[in-house]
Amino acid sequence: MEPTTKIHIENLNVYAGKQQILKNINIEIPKNKITVILGPSGCGKTTLLKCMNRLTDLYPELKVTGKVMINDKNVLEAGEDIVKLRQYMGLLSQRPYPLPMTIYNNIAFGLKLKGVKKRRNLHKQVVRYLQQANLWDEVKNRLREPASRLSIGQQQRLCLARGLAVNPEIILADEPTSALDPISSQYIEEKFVELKNDYTIVLVTHVLRQARRIADFVVFMYLGEVIEQGTVEEVFGNPKMEKTKQYLGGTFN
């Protein structure tokens, strides 16, 4: 069965002044799979991810051309509805950024933006998403504490819960385990595998083993270009391009 495409990226170019950060990117990201974007530091993975929910808007020096199609809408040409479009995509960044409010309100914030108003309903959903992110047992007695008091691993799970609470279809994750201890990392990885039944997941990483463990599809990038993309078996088992072989073989320079 052919997987259906969830995100369709066409001729995407990103410039920062004279420097070209992303060069003619064409990617199909399949629905309900984990697509891993793999590549050495500085190859443009984060920038690619930021194009998908147009956080590139925050960087005036970046110029973006091309198409990022999600649900038949070009994210790059969306007007005011970009605010709503972003709710299709939960974001998990390299470092957790809890909102400057209580643990409870970190989850409730997005729910309120979605129009959940009734207190009982709000509470029910906060509990549900904290449970889904395996955080409930650790925080159920401290919901009114500031989120910044949690450990980094807990904060990252809070950010996951917060992202899931706005009910996205896609999860964008930018090296979400790089700041975490091994146990928290393993938890996030396992969670992703579980979540892919309901979500389309785009995971950026430079950790080969992580990619091998959980990827369905792999996009290998180098210096702003997509070198190779395909299923994890294709790219890891039988890489076609020289650069990919070097990177996977660890003889990369």
Partner 1 sequence: MKYSGKIEEKVFKILMVIATYSILAVLAIIIYSIFAKGIKALSWEILSQVPQGGYYYGKGGGILNAILGSLSLAFGATLLAFIVGLPVALYINVFLVRRKKLITLFRFILDLVWGIPSIVYGAFGFSMMILLGLQTSLLAGMLTVTLFILPIMIRSMDEILQTVPIGLSEATYSLGANKSELAFKIFTRQTVSGIITAILLSFGRAIGDAASVLFTAGYTDNLPNSLMEPVATLPLSIFFQLSSPVPAVQDRAYASALVLTLIILLVSLFSRGLGKRYHKTKINF
Ligand X SMILES: Nc1ncnc2c1ncn2[C@@H]1O[C@H](COP(=O)(O)OP(=O)(O)O)[C@@H](O)[C@H]1O
Round to whole Å and give the CA distance between 215 and 217: 5
Q: Please identify which residue in 12, 27, 44, 126 interacts with ligand X, judged by CB under 6 A.
A: 44
Q: Any contact of residue 95 with partner 1 (CB under 8 A)?
A: yes
Q: Quick one: 21 or 52, whose CB is closer to ligand X?
A: 21
Judged by DSSP in three states, 135 sits in coil
Q: Quick one: 63 or 128, whose CB is closer to ligand X?
A: 63
Segment 177 to 216, residues that bind partner 1, using CB under 8 A? none
Q: Any contact of residue 53 with partner 1 (CB under 8 A)?
A: yes
Q: Please identify which residue in 57, 77, 190, 198 interacts with partner 1, judged by CB under 8 A.
A: 57
**Beta sheet of 225-231, edge-to-edge order:** 89-92, 170-174, 200-205, 34-38, 217-222, 225-231
Which listed range, 1-9, 44-52, 151-159, 160-168, lies at the site for Mg ion (CB under 5 A)?
Answer: 44-52
Backbone angles phi, psi at 164, to 5 degrees: -65, -30
Q: Any contact of residue 109 with partner 1 (CB under 8 A)?
A: yes
**Beta sheet of 5-16, edge-to-edge order:** 19-30, 5-16, 62-70, 73-74
Q: Any contact of residue 60 with partner 1 (CB under 8 A)?
A: yes
Judged by DSSP in three states, 144 sits in coil
Q: Any contact of residue 47 with Mg ion (CB under 5 A)?
A: no
Q: Give min distance, CB of 13 to Mg ion, in A.
A: 18
- CA pseudo-torsion sign 129, 131, 132, 134: positive
Q: Give min distance, CB of 39 to ligand X, in A.
A: 6
Q: Burial level of 251, CB count in 10 A (0-12/13-18/19+)?
A: exposed
Q: Please identify which residue in 34, 70, 103, 166 interacts with partner 1, judged by CB under 8 A.
A: 166
Judged by DSSP in three states, 62 sits in strand
Listed in sequence order, the residues at least 6 apart from 88 whose beta carbon sits closer than 8 Å to its beta carbon are 70, 71, 168, 169, 170
Q: Give min distance, CB of 46 to partner 1, in A.
A: 10
The DSSP secondary-structure symbol of 102 reads: B
| Positions that interact with partner 1 (CB under 8 A) | 50, 53, 55, 57-58, 60, 83-84, 86-87, 89-91, 93, 95-101, 109-110, 113-114, 148-149, 155, 159, 162-163, 166, 172
| Positions that interact with ligand X (CB under 6 A) | 16, 21, 39, 41-47, 59, 61-62
